[in-house]
Chain A
């Protein structure tokens, strides 16, 4: 990727600068870049930005951990057992069709609007892609390799540990990446609706106060954090799956 990926953001920045300089839009709606930069510096200096980003990150880490663990378990169960698949898959598919936002009114009545609500919504974001990808990964393991295990008298546990799980790892990793992205975006969604802290809250608050500079800072930070998370997962994936990356590079 290198620098080419920075071209478009750079161009947008220039466009933004020209647009505000020439006054295409009112300053209240589109504050100039320099002004937004000032705001960002102030927010960093006061610790406000880190506080809100920290709150959001903690919510995502906890919610994602629960959602991903549950999704992995369900995916493995359905992948390994036809019976589990028969019982659980229809319900899961129906559940996955309902957008996260659709659950929020019901959840608000059940668990209120405190941290539990955020954790559940974030966990759901991670859960669905984890189940789908883990299941597909396990079912996609080559029957020829499983037959090698049979010829070598592998126990069920050995087959799982030495063939099925390693074979499913690439797909599970895809699930983790999609899951984290979904968690992050649904976090911001739920913070917009019900929160007094976090990056999503900064968006709402900034809009209500008509501090568009703050809104823009929050948007940029949300994007950067998401980007950084995806990048670091990418790195981890390369490390864990050396055999696969080299195959693609070859």
Chain B
């Protein structure tokens, strides 16, 4: 990890207007992401995770604060920043293959390189046999995998993934987690992955960002200082998981300020404590 301030989010606030009422989706959120780091984000539904990713990817620019990537302020989308959306968002009129190829539409590869990359990535997500299928012929999990392939195929510098494995069965999920981990280890793409699965967050992340809702804030950042490849069932990983779960579940009566169980975390930015698990909306 060379540059510790590769991707910077500084005091970012994003407000929405919902039925004439102001809704603070993100409240002064700050997070520095190092080059090649794998950051995972967990938090209750509606705490602003997707909002944060859209801001990071440059898809939403109506915020206060500052977001920069390699020192340059993010003012819009870029091919250096990839996005795997929470829903697969495939184009229904294109085959799976053509959907994935859209990720390379504006990249500088030659035609045959593009073809090879698309094939490789379909293979990677286990959809090689469905290259010519249309999206409605896929199951939910297959569509999600096609979306992942489209996000990965262009090899962005930073990849934002919004619950990419949410609709997958346990086995496929574990396999794709390992594939993602391998791609990351091989290519050093900076990864920012949102998930509801704490196990996944600690298994994949260098740091786990714990967010809390209303207003959306970063409550805690838990570093996972464990060597890779990691053992899913190791006791050390279980301890970190417990630590993240505690942070997620902490309420006002259970302040999370105090001795940290896990070493090595960078300045965590926790606002006033709120119940982390609240009913969505």
Question: Which A positions have Cβ atoms within 8 angstroms of B?
Answer: 144-145, 147-148, 150-154, 158, 162-163, 166-167, 169, 241-244, 246-247, 250
Contact = CB atoms under 8 A, between A and B. Distances in A.
B105 interface: yes
Given A145-B89, A152-B106, A246-B136, 13 more contacts: A144-B89, A145-B91, A152-B77, A152-B102, A153-B79, A153-B106, A162-B102, A163-B91, A166-B94, A243-B92, A246-B134, A247-B92, A250-B136
B96 to A, nearest CB: 11
B251 interface: no
A247 B136 contact: yes
Interface in B74-108: 77-79, 81-83, 85, 87, 89, 91-94, 102-103, 105-106
Nearest to A148: B89
B83 A162 contact: no
Given A163-B91, A241-B93, A153 B102 contact: no
> What's the dominant secondary structure at chain A's contact region?
helix
Nearest 3 A-B pairs (CB), nearest first? Answer: A247-B136, A243-B134, A151-B83
Contacts of B106: 152-154, 158
> What's the dominant secondary structure at chain B's contact region?
loop
Contacts of A166: 91, 93-94
Given A145-B91, A166-B91, A243-B92, A151 B105 contact: no
Contact of B105 (A152, A242, A247): A152
Interface in B198-221: none
25 contacts: A145-B89, A145-B91, A147-B85, A148-B85, A148-B89, A148-B91, A151-B81, A152-B102, A152-B103, A152-B105, A152-B106, A153-B77, A153-B79, A162-B91, A162-B102, A162-B105, A166-B91, A166-B94, A243-B134, A243-B136, A244-B92, A244-B93, A246-B136, A246-B137, A247-B134
Contacts of A152: 77, 79, 102-103, 105-106, 154
A84 to B, nearest CB: 25
B77 A150 contact: yes
A246 B134 CA distance: 9
A159 to B, nearest CB: 11
Contacts of A246: 134, 136-137
Nearest to A243: B134
B85 A144 contact: yes
B93 A243 contact: yes
B57 interface: yes
A151 B102 contact: no
Nearest to A144: B89
A154 B105 contact: yes
B137 A150 contact: no
B12 interface: no
A167 B90 CA distance: 12
Contacts of B34: none
A151 B76 CA distance: 9
Contacts of B92: 243-244, 247
B136 A151 contact: no
Contacts of B89: 144-145, 147-148
Contacts of A151: 57, 59, 77, 81-83
Contacts of B57: 151
Nearest to B98: A162
Interface in B39-57: 57
Contacts of A153: 77-79, 106
Interface string B58-77: 01000000000000000001
Contacts of B134: 242-243, 246-247
A241 B135 CA distance: 13
A151 B78 CA distance: 7
Contacts of A148: 85, 89, 91, 102
Nearest to A169: B93
Contacts of B154: 152
Contacts of A144: 85, 87, 89
Interface in B141-173: 154
Contact of B59 (A150, A167, A242): A150
A166 B95 CA distance: 13
Most buried by B among A150, A151, A154: A151
A169 B91 CA distance: 13
Contacts of A169: 93
Contacts of A158: 105-106
